[in-house]
Amino acid sequence: MMDIRNAEFSYNGKKSIFRNVNISIERGDVLCILGPNGTGKSTLIKCMSSLLKLKSGKILLKDKNIYSMNNTEIAKVMGYIPQSNNSTFAYSVLDIVLMGRTPYLSITSVPGKNDYKIAEEALENLGILHLKDKIYTEISGGERQLVLMARAIAQRPEILLLDEPTSHLDFGNQIRTLKVINKLSKSGLSVVMTSHFPDHAFLSSNKVAIMNQGTIMEMGDPRTVVTEENMKQAYGIDVKILDVDEQRKACIPMQIQ
């Protein structure tokens, strides 16, 4: 679905934010990118979305160089939700979600019955159909995050890039969002998300990458990558990884002195 080969990026042409990044994302993969503040997770996701151009290396989306594709071509395959979610215009929630259908409309056409159905289904899946007539700028930050997720789902992409999708969400909505990601990945959607919560890697991902000091420190199955040693190396803190049950693990910070 997506291949990142030997990627290097720099904002000013001099100091690299990251280098030697190699990632392969298959159909149905959920890749969770962990790592300390400022290590380049959002920058990498922006490169994957084509918003930022690599200094060197390649990003292939379904075997095509992403930088040779136009926006509509990309939008038919990829959804991207950035970290910040501001809007200046007083659109309704339903209008915002309908924007996800734009790649499928011609310049002169308006959304049809089927587009409304898809948009309402996306809102319902995330448990926020009741917000559909509210004004986007008048709902909470967490609700906005869910609305943008609904918009990306309504876009029916094959790969979804989510920059900290749970950062503004309450505990219930964090779990609900991870469940939706799980469900969508089972039907073939590939997801790349950044997170500050190692537990989310256990809950939702089949792959995890730890970004540290400008490169991918380790990548693979969450159980082998999210270890006490790697958490210490990446974040400089002691944690205990506990078996919660046979299926699940939890990453618990050690006592704060």
Contact range with ligand ATP by CB under 6 A, out of 40-48, 151-159, 182-190, 226-234: 40-48
Q: Would you count residue 84 as binding ligand ATP (CB under 6 A)? A: no
Task: Provide, rounded to whole angstroms, the least separation between the CB of residue 37 and ligand ATP.
Answer: 3
Q: Of 20, 45, 17, 18, nearest to 31 (Cα)?
A: 45
Residue with smaller CB distance to ligand ATP, 115 or 163: 163
Residue with smaller CB distance to ligand ATP, 184 or 210: 210
Q: Which of 41, 144, 200, 207 binds ligand ATP (CB under 6 A)?
A: 41
| DSSP per-residue codes, the chain | -EEEEEEEE-SSSSS-SEEEEEEEE-TT-EEEEE--TTSSHHHHHHHHHTSS--SEEEEEETTEEGGGS-HHHHHTTEEEE-S----SS--BHHHHHHGGGGGGS-TT----HHHHHHHHHHHHHTT-GGGTTSBGGGS-HHHHHHHHHHHHHHT--SEEEEESTTTT--HHHHHHHHHHHHHHHHTT-EEEEE-S-HHHHHHH-SEEEEEETTEEEEEE-HHHHS-HHHHHHHHS--EEEEE-SSS-EEEEEPPP-
Distance between CA atoms of residues 23 and 21, nearest Å: 7
Contact range with ligand ATP by CB under 6 A, out of 32-40, 69-77, 114-122, 153-161: 32-40
Q: Would you count residue 11 as binding ligand ATP (CB under 6 A)? A: yes
Task: Provide, rounded to whole angstroms, the least separation between the CB of residue 98 and ligand ATP.
Answer: 29
Contact range with ligand ATP by CB under 6 A, out of 39-47, 90-98, 123-131, 142-150: 39-47
Q: Would you count residue 39 as binding ligand ATP (CB under 6 A)? A: yes
Q: Would you count residue 177 as binding ligand ATP (CB under 6 A)? A: no
Contact range with ligand ATP by CB under 6 A, out of 30-38, 150-158, 180-188, 217-225: 30-38
Q: Would you count residue 166 as binding ligand ATP (CB under 6 A)? A: no
Task: Provide, rounded to whole angstroms, the least separation between the CB of residue 41 and ligand ATP.
Answer: 4
Q: Would you count residue 37 as binding ligand ATP (CB under 6 A)? A: yes
Task: Provide, rounded to whole angstroms, the least separation between the CB of residue 40 and ligand ATP.
Answer: 4
Segment 93-152, which members bind ligand ATP (CB under 6 A)?
Answer: none
114 CB-near residues (< 8 Å, 6+ apart): none
Q: Would you count residue 212 as binding ligand ATP (CB under 6 A)? A: no
Are the beta carbons of 120 and 129 closer than 8 angstroms? yes
Task: Provide, rounded to whole angstroms, the least separation between the CB of residue 34 and ligand ATP.
Answer: 9
Q: Would you count residue 43 as binding ligand ATP (CB under 6 A)? A: yes
Alpha carbons within 13 angstroms on the beta-carbon side of residue 252 total: 10
Q: Applying CB under 6 A, which residues contact ligand ATP?
A: 11, 17, 35, 37-43
